[in-house]
A = this chain, B = another copy of it.
Amino acid sequence: MDNALCRMNGCDFPLFAFSHCRDVVVAVSKAGGFGVFGAAAYTPEQFEEELAWIDAHIDGAPYGVDVLVPETVDARVTSFTSNAERAAAISAEHKAFTADLLGRYGVHIPEDQQTRIREGAGITPENGQKLMEVAFRHPIRMIANALGIAPPEMIAEGKKRGIPVAALVGAKEHALRQAAAGVDIIVAQGGEAGGHCGEVSTLVLVPEVVRALKGAGQDIPVLAAGGIMTGGQMAAMMAAGAQGAWCGSVWLCTPEAETSPAFRQKMVDARSRDTVRSKARTGKPARQLKTAWHEAWDDPAGPGTLPMPLMGMVSEPSFAHIEKAVVNGNEQARDLVSYFVGQGVGLVEAERSCRQVVQDFREEFAEAVMGLNAMLED
């Protein structure tokens, strides 16, 4: 296939794979798609190691990175400069609430592990900046940003090095702001997407963003994101004006992914209605598999969710302990197993390799186009 986006990023088939797992990135890029490595969970040192591994294994295939440089920071956390300070701001009530909630499922978490204090990691503007600097030392073919306007340094450095800068948006107005700031690719992500997302659906958002950019004289390719699990849906969004698809959830049910067998089983079993857009994992609205964790944190009668990055400092060790409990035979803990995933989870039927997913997308894409042509010709 060939379009402006393929030429810009050097890929053969404009299927983008967002993943926190280097194996997925490498497998997808080698299969003709375009792997995008999500840096958010890493320290700059770990990120450097991961990218070095990718460079050594990807056989020169193109890949990109996604860093999170939040544009706005909750007023409750702006004064903190270290994760130790941030952890100290988490109230005893929130900690007791967490321990009680996990305890009801037989998951016990030692008090000293209840809050994750890992200096140099976490979604903060300073950390995002450092991750960006690491990324530019590698042969990336794209750098993406989410949670606000891409920082000026990212755009300047991208232009200097000829590396396209992509930005994730959930609303037309944000796409226009990003384009005005100088980004090269817009990822229009609908509200059905896993992870941080807005409320407008992919089917509405994609043509809305494409039309708005055209109206503003911005000739920028748009990637469709949110709910896309098949080549038929990818063809659909390209019929609606996108130049490619950006997928996250579909890679989570592959053997290459970082996900646990327990979560992958839940993906296979889940219906599309089993996700929720909730602040209960990162502190900002993100779609994920719905569990009692989300019900409890989103309950107005409870202590309420914490701002980013505090919420993640509580939720990540909790979910790690939930996974450990399942491995250790606690069947009850399976109920709490969760991860970021979109409504498209209802379309997952089995675990497949990344290469197989890319191959299936290609075939389904071709079938969808043939089907449309057949209807017009009859």
Give Cα A343–Cα B228 distance, bound, in whole angstroms: 19
In the complex, residue of chain B having the shortest beta-carbon distance to the beta carbon of A199: B273
Residues of B near A76 (CB, < 8 A) are: none
As a 0/1 sequence over residues 241 to 267 of chain A, the CB contacts with chain B under 8 angstroms (1 = contact) are 100000000000000000000000000
Contact residue among B199, B236, B300, B378 (Cβ-Cβ distance under 8 Å from A203): B236
Residues of B near A158 (CB, < 8 A) are: none
Interface window among A93-101, A107-115, A123-131, A368-376: A368-376
**A318 near B: Cβ within 8 Å?**
no
Closest Cβ of chain B to A302, distance in Å, is 14
Is there contact, CB below 8 Å, between B199 and A201? no
Contact residue among B200, B226, B235 (Cβ-Cβ distance under 8 Å from A372): B235
**A8 near B: Cβ within 8 Å?**
no
Is there contact, CB below 8 Å, between B378 and A1? yes
Is there contact, CB below 8 Å, between A372 and B372? yes
Is there contact, CB below 8 Å, between A172 and B346? yes
**A184 near B: Cβ within 8 Å?**
no
Is there contact, CB below 8 Å, between B211 and A368? no
Is there contact, CB below 8 Å, between B192 and A204? yes
Residues of B near A368 (CB, < 8 A) are: 239-240
**A233 near B: Cβ within 8 Å?**
yes
**A347 near B: Cβ within 8 Å?**
yes
Closest Cβ of chain B to A186, distance in Å, is 15
Using C-beta atoms within 8 Å of the partner chain, give the interface range for chain A.
35 or more
Is there contact, CB below 8 Å, between B190 and A201? yes
**A70 near B: Cβ within 8 Å?**
no
**A237 near B: Cβ within 8 Å?**
yes
**A366 near B: Cβ within 8 Å?**
yes
| A378-B240 contact, Cβ under 8 Å, with A203-B226, A207-B233, A227-B203 | no
Q: What is the predominant secondary structure among interface residues of chain A facing chain B?
A: helix
**A62 near B: Cβ within 8 Å?**
no
- Please list the residues of chain A having a beta carbon within 8 angstroms of any beta carbon in chain B: 1-3, 171-173, 190-192, 198-205, 207-208, 211, 226-230, 232-233, 235-241, 271-273, 300, 342-344, 346-347, 366, 368-369, 371-373, 375-376, 378
Give Cα A226–Cα B343 distance, bound, in whole angstroms: 16
Is there contact, CB below 8 Å, between A375 and B238? yes
Residues of B near A343 (CB, < 8 A) are: 200-201, 204
Residues of B near A371 (CB, < 8 A) are: 238-239
Is there contact, CB below 8 Å, between B378 and A373? no
Closest Cβ of chain B to A353, distance in Å, is 21
| A1-B203 contact, Cβ under 8 Å, with A236-B239, A368-B239 | no
Which 10 residue pairs across A and B have the least CB separation, nearest first? A2-B378, A236-B236, A192-B201, A236-B240, A239-B368, A201-B201, A236-B239, A204-B227, A235-B239, A200-B272
| A190-B211 contact, Cβ under 8 Å, with A238-B375, A372-B235 | no
Is there contact, CB below 8 Å, between B192 and A372? no
